[in-house]
Chains A and B, each alone.
Chain A
């Protein structure tokens, strides 16, 4: 089945630690996105990528980093510079046009110890 997988489902971060969230898609989509969701709020865009080896900052990129070495994969690293990382993180992919549907993964919940 085609789709998007995210791992792990839950992730715990200690103070000063970097953690990486995995996102893989087998939909052959060019564009991939990372969103952050806080309770009672909508989704906010962290980073997006239009094509392999290229990515752009979204609205809240500070304290995060990404890479896009393969079309299928778009991992997100939450660095120690992100002072309030506790949130639900959602990865999505699409064909990339403004009319195209974004397909979402099941999400990763990040908690700080």
Chain B
């Protein structure tokens, strides 16, 4: 079946450092890929998405490129801020007739220190 694997956290880094969170997936067909962010005690918010191979999603300085050849969707940000401290989830949406069901990775906690 489909699955998503993320690097384990917590990832601790200083303000203005470069952030990478690795995400790889296993899927049949051509899934859409998402990054969601969760701040403490809250629900999830969409950070960015890509719906086909080689698409790049971007938002708030974060970027991720849909790489079909390596089945990856790594999240990057060039200069993190303390406000980026959160848990980040990689997810995939299954085949078109699945009504948008999402398969989530385990999440990666990011802690940014001043």
Mark interface residues in A87-99 (1 if CB within 8 Å of B CB, else 0).
0001010111111
Residue from the list B41, B45, B49, B89 in contact with A43, Cβ < 8 A: B89
Interchain CA distance A96-B96 in the complex, whole Å? 9
The residue in chain B whose Cβ has the minimal distance to the Cβ of A101 is: B46
Q: Please name 9 further chain A to chain B contacts, defined as beta carbons within 8 Å, in addition to the given A45-B102, A95-B100, A98-B96, sorted by A numbering.
A: A40-B107, A43-B44, A43-B89, A43-B102, A92-B43, A92-B44, A98-B31, A98-B32, A107-B41
Chain A positions near chain B (C-beta within 8 angstroms): 4, 6, 31, 33, 40-45, 48, 50, 58, 90, 92, 94-107
| B96–A97 CB distance below 8 A | yes
Residue from the list A58, A90, A98 in contact with B44, Cβ < 8 A: A90
Mark interface residues in B70-105 (1 if CB within 8 Å of A CB, else 0).
000000000000000000010001111011111011
For chain B, the count of residues having a C-beta within 8 Å of the partner chain is 27
| B43–A106 CB distance below 8 A | yes
| A31–B106 CB distance below 8 A | no
Q: Write out the residue numbers on chain A whose beta carbons fall within 8 Å of the beta carbon of B99.
A: 31, 48, 50, 96-98
